[in-house]
Amino acid sequence: MADMVSVDEVAEAMFKLIKDAAGQKQYKAMDLQKAMIELFPDRVDKKLCKESIKKLINSGRCIYTYFGGSYIELPHVEGAANPDE
Amino acid sequence: MADKTKATGMLAELKDGPYPSFVKEIEAAAEKNEMAQDLIGLLELSYNEKLCHWKHGGIVGVMGYGGGVIGRYVDVPEEFPNVSHFHTLRVNQPAAWFYKTEALRKICDIWEERGSAIMNIHGSTGDIILLGTTTAQLEPVFSELTKLGFDLGGSGSVLRTPSCCVGPARCEWAMFDTLKFAYEHTMKYQDELHRPYFPYKFKFKFSGCPNDCVASIARADMSFIGTWRDDILVNQDKVLWYANEKKLDIQEIVVDRCPTKCMEWDGKELHIDNRNCSRCMHCINVLHLALKPGKDRGCTILIGSKAPILEGAQLSSVLVPFMRMEPPYAEDEATAEDLPELIDNIWELWGEEGKNRERVGEFIQRIGMGNFLDAIGLEPAAEMVSHPRTNPYVFYELGEEDEEEEDE
């Protein structure tokens, strides 16, 4: 197996995907994993993808959303939300 | 001005009758809490208009977690500003729902201060449901709950809060330690509980015996139901005592109700053909002083049940007919199954191939049980067959050996 990509690199690539698709497509964790395996063949695995998602979420750059299924998106105010009093 | 703490009209009618009423409870909370007051008003509006005024929110949560908070807003916030945000929190329950009263009191205190003072113990999910708070209160509530040793869980495309029956703590029929098993699985799969990685929700439920008090066969994607492999232990003297002293009609109440008709009663002795017994527990439940489950105990693992959301309800199917549930759980000599590996294989396959919002039971239905077993590396067993095939038009492919035999 070739040298593994770093968690930071994968997190950046995931973030770009999510950012570019914002408002058009919602990514699930598994979609991101599949996209990374395609982008970095033989250089990422499931564990690395999980770590990268964890990094994106814990840093606050992305959030989990739940609309039936769970997605990973950029933080934003949702349409259903009422403004804070 | 109308009293906002009292329900009127159709909502007030729900206070009548001999049963506990949720309206009475909301009224009691409304004595002190403005959210509960507006909740009464909103419910009355919904009853009058026959319209739901809740909007489902999908973004609110606590930092780092993809489950535990379910966003709720109303579409008439000007009319009911105190329930403008009314988010639900699901609090992970301890195994078999045992609490110190002090712990429950503290949870109630948190919720009276930071929420609507209305809660649901326990929701059908198994968790404690804290109903109604604002976005700004989510992190403070979470912080205070974690200080008490509680955690959030039970929403999102995650492993939902594992739950179990009272098991050996209170029940003589427990074939394995359900509490320990639920606790160990909760701790082992923390990441899967909080960070959504699945196509949809996935639930474990552990029942100590075939009576299945947590209804895991109907509600869990992976059901663990206690069972035994050897013969039912029979005390013939006690069987006679039931017949003679208790005047129990053993033929009608026990033998005729056996689903596999594996018993015979000659008026003196009860004969059980254990090979044909399906371990339903009916006879043991009725003659509990005379019959006991065998001593070779473990559990049956089933897969695929669900309540109807996107598609119809399903019951679980047998996956592993018998597994001993003793430490270290991983390796069982009798069945040569490795439970953690089995779980990983299922998640891997379903995660890769499952469609969005497709439960594992629906996934199996789509690809076929044969293909599913093949993909997760499990050998088919006779116990997996629920009933004989009714369609006579069966086509199957011949293996190489079969073809050679045919040629000869």
The residues, any chain, with a CB within 8 Å of residue B171's CB and separated by 6 or more, are B165, B208, B209, B213
Domain of A30, CATH number, reads 1.10.10.10
Residue B81 CA to residue B131 CA, distance in Å, equals 16
Which residue among B61, B191, B200 sits closest to A64, beta carbon to beta carbon? B61
Smallest Cα distance from B180 to chain A, Å: 28
**Chain B residues touching chain A at CB-CB below 8 Å:** 55-61, 63-67, 70-71, 73-74, 77, 81, 84-85, 134-136, 155-158, 191, 195-200, 351-352, 356-357
Q: Which residues of A touch B360 (CB under 8 A)?
A: none
- Helix (H) or strand (E) holding A50, with range, is helix A46-58
Smallest Cα distance from B23 to chain A, Å: 26
Smallest Cα distance from A58 to chain B, Å: 5
> Could you tell me which chain A residue has the CA closest to the CA of B57?
A80
Architecture of domain B9-147: 2-Layer Sandwich (3.30)
As annotated, the residues of chain B forming the CATH 3.30.413.10 domain(s) are: 159-227+300-384
**8 Å CB contact of A70 and B64:** no
pLDDT at B122: 86
Which residue among B64, B200, B351 sits closest to A69, beta carbon to beta carbon? B200
Q: A70 — phi, psi (to 5°)?
A: -100, 135
**8 Å CB contact of A64 and B195:** yes
Mutate to test the interface with A, among B52, B59, B350 (most CBs of A within 10 A): B59
**pLDDT band, very low/low/confident/very high, at A80 (cuts 50, 70, 90):** confident
The residues, any chain, with a CB within 8 Å of residue B71's CB and separated by 6 or more, are A66, A78, A80, A81, B56, B57, B58, B59, B60, B87
Which residue among A53, A69, A84 sits closest to B356, beta carbon to beta carbon? A69
pLDDT at B333: 61
Q: Is A14 contained in some domain?
A: yes
CB-CB contact of B218 with B235 (8 Å):
no
Which residue among A54, A73, A78 sits closest to B195, beta carbon to beta carbon? A54
Residue B361 CA to residue B303 CA, distance in Å, equals 7
pLDDT at B56: 85
The residues, any chain, with a CB within 8 Å of residue B270's CB and separated by 6 or more, are B234, B236, B239, B250, B254, B255, B263, B264, B287, B290
Segments in B64-189 forming alpha helices (H): 101-114, 135-147, 178-188
Residue from B58, B24, B213, B198 nearest B126 by CA = B213
Per-residue CA distances from B46 to A43, B40, B42, B49, B259 (Å): 55, 10, 6, 5, 47
Q: Is A49 contained in some domain?
A: yes
Q: Is A62 contained in some domain?
A: yes
DSSP B63: T
Residue from B69, B221, B219 nearest B153 by CA = B69
**Residues of A (7-66) whose Cβ lies below 8 Å from B:** 28-30, 50, 53-54, 57-58, 60, 63-66
Residue B14 CA to residue B11 CA, distance in Å, equals 6
A34-45 pLDDT, tens digit each: 999 999 998 999
CB-CB contact of B57 with A63 (8 Å):
no
Say how far residue B103 (Cα) sits from the centre of its chain: 24
CA angle B379, B336, B232 (to 5 degrees): 95
As annotated, the residues of chain B forming the CATH 3.30.70.20 domain(s) are: 233-292
Q: Is A78 contained in some domain?
A: no
Chain A / chain B CB contacts < 8 angstroms? 93
Q: Which residues of A touch B74 (CB under 8 A)?
A: 82
Q: Is A18 contained in some domain?
A: yes
Q: Is A80 contained in some domain?
A: no
Q: Which residue segment(s) compose the domain that A49 sits in?
A: 7-73
Report ipTM (2 d.p.).
0.90
CB-CB contact of B313 with B307 (8 Å):
yes
As annotated, the residues of chain B forming the CATH 3.30.70.2500 domain(s) are: 9-147
| Structural domains in chain A (count) | 1
Per-residue CA distances from B218 to B46, B181, B300, B319 (Å): 31, 19, 14, 15
pLDDT in 10s for each residue of chain B, 408 residues: 578 888 888 899 999 888 899 999 999 999 999 999 999 999 999 999 999 999 987 888 899 999 899 999 999 999 999 999 999 999 999 999 999 999 999 999 999 999 999 999 987 788 999 999 999 999 999 999 999 999 998 888 999 989 999 999 999 999 999 999 999 999 999 999 999 999 999 999 999 999 999 999 999 999 999 999 999 999 999 999 999 999 999 999 999 999 999 999 999 999 999 999 999 999 999 999 999 999 999 999 999 999 887 778 999 999 999 988 876 665 566 555 688 889 999 999 999 999 999 999 999 999 999 999 999 999 898 889 877 778 777 776 766 666 666 666
CATH of domain B159-227+300-384: 3.30.413.10
Number of Cβ within a 10 Å radius of residue B122: 16
Which segments within B53-153 are labelled E, that is strand? Answer: 54-57, 69-74, 88-91, 118-120, 128-131
The residues, any chain, with a CB within 8 Å of residue B233's CB and separated by 6 or more, are B291, B292, B293, B294, B295
**8 Å CB contact of A66 and B195:** no
Residue B282 CA to residue B210 CA, distance in Å, equals 9
Number of Cβ within a 10 Å radius of residue A66: 23
**8 Å CB contact of B196 and A64:** yes
Residue B25 CA to residue B116 CA, distance in Å, equals 12
Structure token digits, residue B387: 């009933």
CATH of domain B233-292: 3.30.70.20
**8 Å CB contact of B64 and A58:** yes
Q: Is A38 contained in some domain?
A: yes
Smallest Cα distance from B200 to chain A, Å: 6
pLDDT at A78: 75
